[in-house]
Chains A and B, each alone.
Chain A
Amino acid sequence: MTDWTLAGLADAIRARKISPLEATREYLSRIERLDGRIRAFITVDAARALDRARALERDAMAGRWHGPLHGVPLAHKDLFRVAPLPTSCGTKTAEYFVAEQDATAVTRLVEAGALTLGKLNMAELAMGPYGDNAHHGDVQNPWRFGHVSGGSSSGSGAAVAAGLAAGALGTDTGGSIRLPAACCGIAGLKPTYGRVSRAGGMPLSWSMDHIGPMARTVRDVALLLDAMAGADPEDATASARPVDDYAGALDRPIRGLRVGVADNYYFDGVAPEVAEAVRGMGAVLERLGARVEPLRLPDPQVIHDVAGIVARAESAVVHTRILRERPHELQPAVRARLAVGERVSAHDYLQALRLRARLAREFIREVFTEVDLVLAPATPTPAPSLAEVTVGDGDTIAARMGRFSRLTRPWNGLGLPVLAIPCGFSAGGLPIGAQLAGRPFDEATVLRAGHAYEEATDWHRRRPALG
């Protein structure tokens, strides 16, 4: 059952083929059996999850269905407030982040019937694309132990891929949903900036932070987004724009959609097997009726750098206390990245924000008059080994981190919706991920194209051999 998709599990519960309590017990049993090696969880909340499952089971027996996620066990990155659990944000401090209310996104999933198995491991302060963590253990890639899971939502990616949760929330400031999705062979969506409330989640860079769903398939991701998107009085940046029926729109054909394959920047220095897999995805979309052609984008390096300036400055401000009072608690690379932010001038920070507005406007105008979607690789290589990414001093590691997230960060600067999905496997058996980006607030088209691709391929049906 832990091999099922979230949608399949939700359907089975609704059809009374399996109960919420049975499902929860299965997941908890698998966590107990496997997570000592994978290290996806920081906190397993078995007692409360079982209590909630019993209550959901009683309600199901009485015909009181809470919503489309009734009885579905989820887990969330350990930077969301989910009372009464502590929120470490991947630091040494168990209660690093305190908020007045639970994270809106989690609350909405619970209102839709989901239950929470626990809190997931992550890169310290969400600052790292690999998922190594000196305090809570390095998250292992379920496809091959000893390789990175991708980060910073490392536990989210590994937990879903390993069948330790049916779905998970992640956050994405420079690629932190899409990198672990790509490395672990699952689907992950960075929604449009403002589509999902960020209230109750640890900020890293309030201008670049996005909260989004991670799950086995695009349909799973759409179901989660359906439940959590929309305006929120607790987050002034959450858009009042109406929420689409994402899952309901998945099966519309993609014939005639225009897909641009990024012709500059995104394939530079990318491993040949990654480039081949992503271009192969373009060929599949073309066979499905999309019009696929190369597209030269406004120089992504500029928005990448601008986004980096904003993220560095804001993260240094948010985490100034730990950086100044307890720097020894931070991993060297995290300390090195925060230290750069302390040295960004107010002038440069504000100019970067002004530049971002112009660059986003120009990108949207120039690109989306030509195409509906942009296709690009998610990572330059399949998941590297933990040994190779953790060698060197803090500056060396920080520079390496920047190279690994260079294909995802530009989209945070632009604020556009981007889906990461598996599009192949390397010769070494590791997943390869592609990014599909769309117009602002057009998650429906992004998800529809991703779903059509999944229906035509079987990468998302493969499971790591974990026993």
Chain B
Amino acid sequence: MTAAGLDSARAEAAGMAALIERAEADLAVAEEPARFAAALEAGAPDDPRPHGPARA
């Protein structure tokens, strides 16, 4: 990777870090990545059929 390419990658990563710094301030301690899958399951339409390990 060229020096210019490295500078560019560093600059983009720094931009990402700044975004996180702005957004993380009010993240609840309880927040964790697994709550993403839980949000999808909770947001799904109601389905009265039982969930099982095999394909339905």
Give chain A's interface residues, CB within 8 Å of chain B. 192-194, 207, 230-233, 237, 239-243, 302, 305-306, 308-309, 312, 327, 335-336, 339-340, 342-345, 347-348, 350-358, 360-361, 364-365, 368, 394-395, 415-416, 439-442, 445
Contact check, A345 vs B40: say whether CB atoms are below 8 A apart.
no
Contact check, B55 vs A230: say whether CB atoms are below 8 A apart.
yes
Contact check, B55 vs A231: say whether CB atoms are below 8 A apart.
yes
Q: Can you give 12 contacting A-B residue pairs, CB < 8 Å?
A: A230-B55, A306-B23, A342-B9, A345-B17, A353-B36, A354-B27, A354-B31, A357-B39, A358-B28, A358-B35, A360-B39, A440-B39
Chain A residues within an 8 Å CB radius of B32: 354, 357
Chain A residues within an 8 Å CB radius of B50: 242
> DSSP class of B's interface residues: helix, strand, loop or mixed?
helix
Contact check, B13 vs A343: say whether CB atoms are below 8 A apart.
yes
Contact check, B41 vs A336: say whether CB atoms are below 8 A apart.
no
- Closest residue of B by beta carbon distance from A192: B40
Chain B residues within an 8 Å CB radius of A368: 43
Which B residues from 36 to 56 make CB contacts under 8 A with A?
36-45, 47, 49-56
Give chain B's interface residues, CB within 8 Å of chain A. 1, 4-6, 8-10, 12-13, 16-17, 19-20, 23-24, 27-28, 31-45, 47, 49-56
Q: How far is the CB of B26 from chain A (nearest CB, A)?
A: 9
Chain B residues within an 8 Å CB radius of A351: 20, 23-24, 27
Contact among B10, B27, B41, B47 for A343, CB-based, below 8 A: B10
Q: How far is the CB of B3 from chain A (nearest CB, A)?
A: 12
- Closest residue of A by beta carbon distance from B13: A343
Bound complex: CA A344 to CA B4 (Å): 18
Most buried by B among A207, A305, A327: A305
Contact check, B37 vs A194: say whether CB atoms are below 8 A apart.
yes
Q: How far is the CB of A360 from chain B (nearest CB, A)?
A: 5
Q: How far is the CB of A263 from chain B (nearest CB, A)?
A: 21
Q: How far is the CB of B10 from chain A (nearest CB, A)?
A: 6
Contact among A240, A353, A355, A360 for B23, CB-based, below 8 A: A355
Contact check, B16 vs A441: say whether CB atoms are below 8 A apart.
no
Task: With A340-B13, A364-B43, A441-B45 given, name 17 new contacts (CB 8 A).
Answer: A193-B37, A193-B40, A230-B55, A231-B55, A232-B55, A240-B52, A242-B47, A242-B49, A309-B19, A335-B5, A339-B1, A340-B16, A357-B31, A361-B39, A395-B8, A415-B36, A440-B39
